[in-house]
């Protein structure tokens, strides 16, 4: 059961303690682990989803993780609270989504939210509160099968492709959603998107039409600095993590993708405060 070529990717962390989620060729979602001072461990089986299912995670550190995936056209949740994995409550609600949807998720005020596309191409927010789930914001229609990215911590922003293929932004100020200023025109249609939020800036990563990973850094003065980082394979998905390094207090970033022919490995592109480093992390050799 090797890594599925074109597997969905998701990631979680507590500072430099890292987790990456991916699917194998039989549909099992695995959790791979990295601990500072050691190295990556091969992925532990978590739950079996439909083959080709999207994957998203919401997390508060690594003691509270919610994993989202599809069975048929319904949203499902697997939950971890520091000891064992178990079926989450979202699965009971049978929310029906577009079977080709991608997913995004994060915690807001201690409660998880999930973002998915439905049959009419609209992007919906699903919110947990008062021990139940309900549908929240109805966003604009997106490109059919658009990637969806939510910043995992910090400022809450959502990114997806409009029906014209432009990556657009929605921001939440704590009370309401509104359209943001960010736009990226040269995105690969239905290509992957992932995003991070630091104190004073946001980072958005996507593939352009040439399959290069593009980093867009949105500065506090509304300036956006774009740079091409690395070429991925044509079917690669993306995931990312960000944290402030304890050694030098600089922003550290990890981007996960597939770039080797055949798609049987997962690569990490790491920014360690001054430069990027690439290495294949899975499978462990």
Cα 121 to Cα 162: distance, rounded to the nearest angstrom = 10
Mean pLDDT across 207-213: 95
Give the chain's domains with CATH numbers. Answer: 10-282 (2.120.10.70)
Determine contact, residues 243/270, Cβ cutoff 8 Å: no
- pLDDT, residue 199, reads 79
- pLDDT, residue 167, reads 97
pLDDT in tens, 169-200: 999 998 899 999 899 988 999 999 999 999 77
Cα 12 to Cα 130: distance, rounded to the nearest angstrom = 25
Answer whether the bond into residue 283 is a cis peptide, omega within 30°.
Answer: yes
* Strand-pair partners of 128: 133
pLDDT band per the 50, 70, 90 thresholds, residue 29 = very high
How many angstroms separate the first and last alpha carbons of the chain? 15
Take residue 188 and report the two structure tokens written for it.
């690969």
Determine contact, residues 78/46, Cβ cutoff 8 Å: yes
- pLDDT, residue 237, reads 98
pLDDT in tens, 125-175: 999 999 999 999 999 899 999 999 999 999 999 999 999 999 999 999 988
- pLDDT, residue 201, reads 87
Q: In whole numbers, what is the pLDDT of the chain averaged over residues?
A: 94
pLDDT in tens, 43-70: 789 999 999 999 999 999 999 999 999 9
Cα 251 to Cα 248: distance, rounded to the nearest angstrom = 9
């Amino acid at each position: 059961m090797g890594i599925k070529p074109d597997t969905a990717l998701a990631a979680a962390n507590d500072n430099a303690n890292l987790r990456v989620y991916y699917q194998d060729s039989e549909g099992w979602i695995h959790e791979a682990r990295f601990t500072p001072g050691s190295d990556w461990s091969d992925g532990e089986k978590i739950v079996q989803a439909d083959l080709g299912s999207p994957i998203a995670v919401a997390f508060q550190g690594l003691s509270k993780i919610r994993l989202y995936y599809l069975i048929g056209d319904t949203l499902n949740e697997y939950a971890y609270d520091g000891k064992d994995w178990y079926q989450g409550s979202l699965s009971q609600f049978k929310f029906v989504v577009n079977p080709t949807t991608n997913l995004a998720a994060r915690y807001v005020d201690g409660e998880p939210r999930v973002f998915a596309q439905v049959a009419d191409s609209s992007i919906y927010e699903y919110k947990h509160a008062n021990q139940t789930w309900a549908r929240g914001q109805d966003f604009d229609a997106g490109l059919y099968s658009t990637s969806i990215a939510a910043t995992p911590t910090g400022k809450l922003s959502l990114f997806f492709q409009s029906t014209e293929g432009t990556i657009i932004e929605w921001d939440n100020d704590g009370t309401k959603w509104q359209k943001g200023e960010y736009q990226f025109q040269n995105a690969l249609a239905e290509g992957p998107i992932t995003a991070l939020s630091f104190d004073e800036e946001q980072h958005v990563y996507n593939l352009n039409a040439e399959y290069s990973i593009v980093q867009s850094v949105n500065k506090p003065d509304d300036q956006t600095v774009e740079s091409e980082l690395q070429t991925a394979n044509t079917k690669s998905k993306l995931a990312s993590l960000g944290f402030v390094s304890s050694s030098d207090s600089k922003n550290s970033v990890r981007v996960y993708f597939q770039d080797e022919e055949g798609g049987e490995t997962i690569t990490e592109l790491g920014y360690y405060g001054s430069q990027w480093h690439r290495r294949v992390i899975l499978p462990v050799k």
